[in-house]
Amino acid sequence: MKTPDFQKHPLIPAIIQDSQTLKVLMLGYMNQEAFEETVNNKIVHFFSRSKNRLWKKGESSGHIQEVKKIFFDCDEDTILIQVNQIGDAACHEGYVSCFFRELDNDQFSIVEKKVFNPDTVYKK
Amino acid sequence: MKTPDFQKHPLIPAIIQDSQTLKVLMLGYMNQEAFEETVNNKIVHFFSRSKNRLWKKGESSGHIQEVKKIFFDCDEDTILIQVNQIGDAACHEGYVSCFFRELDNDQFSIVEKKVFNPDTVYKK
C-alpha cells in the first residue's frame, strides 16, 4: 500500500480544505504522530514547528477541524484533508481562511472579512 | 506591504487549485525566481527540488497552468494559486489532480480515472 512516507519526509505538508465550500483553509505540517492522531480520532492534528510539539488544531480557540476525507498525492509527500471547520473559521487572525490576502496590481490586499475577534477567542 | 518572505523561507509551498471546480490539483515549491516568473507571466512556475532548477509546470506535457488568482497566507509562508489547467489534468500520472488516492478503511485507494496516458504525453 502507498502511504505518506514519514521515514523519507519527517514533516509532510497537509492542505486543509472545507469539505462543503471547497475553500482552501490553511496548510499545516504533520509528522507520523500527528497523522495517526488525525486518522484515528478524525480530528486534525499537526506538528507545530513553532511550539515543537503535537498540535490539535483548535485546541485554544475551539475551532477544531472534523475530518471528512483524506487524500494523498502521487509523490507521497503531500496530504489533502477535507474537513468540517467548527466555528466557521480556520485562521487565528479571525478569517475563514488563512489565505485572506490576494495579489492585485503588485499588492497583496485583504479580500475577506473577519468572522471572529481574535482578542475574544484567544483570551490571555 | 506583506509579501511572501523568501529571505526567511527560500522555498515556499504553493497550493494549486482549479479556479472553476475548486479542486486542489497539486502542491509545488517556489523560490523567489519561480514566484516572480509566475506573477509576471501569469503561468505557474516552480522550483523543482528533483531537477534543482526553475520548472515551468507543463513544460514537457503542455499541461501548463494559467494563473487566475494568487493568495498568500497569514504566516507569510504558503501561497495559494487558482488556475485554469490546460489539458484538464495536472498530475504526471494522468489524473486531473495529484491527490487521486483516498484513505478508506486504513487503505489508500485510487478514486479518480486517468484522463490521459502518460506514455503518450511524455514521449521518451
Task: Report the complex ipTM.
Answer: 0.95
- Mean pLDDT across the stretch A37-51? 96
Pairing of strands B79-85, A53-56: unpaired
Joined together, the cell numbers standing for residue A95 give: 478569517
CATH superfamily, domain at B12-121: Phosphoribosyl-AMP cyclohydrolase (3.10.20.810)
Q: Confidence class of residue B33 from pLDDT cuts 50, 70 and 90? A: very high
Nearest residue of chain A to residue B92 (CA atoms): A74
Residue count of chain B, please give it.
124
Res A3 pLDDT > 90: no
Does the structure show a pLDDT above 80 at A38?
yes
- Could you report the per-residue pLDDT of B42-85, keeping only the tens digit for each? 999 999 999 999 999 999 999 999 999 999 999 989 999 999 99
Per-residue pLDDT, averaged over B95-106, amounts to: 94
Q: Coil, helix or strand for A5?
A: coil
Inter-chain CB pairs, A–B, below 8 Å: 94
> Which of B17, B74, B92 lies nearest to residue A24, judging by beta carbons?
B17
Q: What is the pTM of this model?
A: 0.95
Nearest to A26 among B1, B21, B73 (CB): B73
Tell me the residues of chain A between 34 and 93 that have a Cβ less than 8 Å away from chain B: 39, 69-75, 78, 80, 91-93
How far lies A124's CA from each of A49, A54, A83, B4, B46, in Å? 22, 21, 28, 29, 40
In this predicted structure, the answer to whether residue A43 has a pLDDT above a threshold of 80 is yes
What pLDDT does B124 receive?
Answer: 54
C-alpha cell at B59: 513544460
A99 with B72: Cβ contact below 8 A = yes
Strands B53-56, A24-30: pairing kind = unpaired
Question: What are the pLDDT digits (tens) for A60-107?
Answer: 999 999 999 999 999 999 999 999 999 989 999 999 999 999 998 888
Contact B80 A24 (CB under 8 A): yes
- Nearest-CA residue of chain A relative to B112? A71
What are the pLDDT digits (tens) for B18-31? 999 999 999 999 99
DSSP state of B6: T
| pLDDT(A1) > 70 | no
pLDDT given at position A5: 85
Is A5 in CB contact (< 8 Å) with chain B?
no
Q: Do β-strands A107-110 and A45-48 pair in parallel, antiparallel, or remain unpaired?
A: unpaired
Single-letter amino acid code for the residue at A48: S
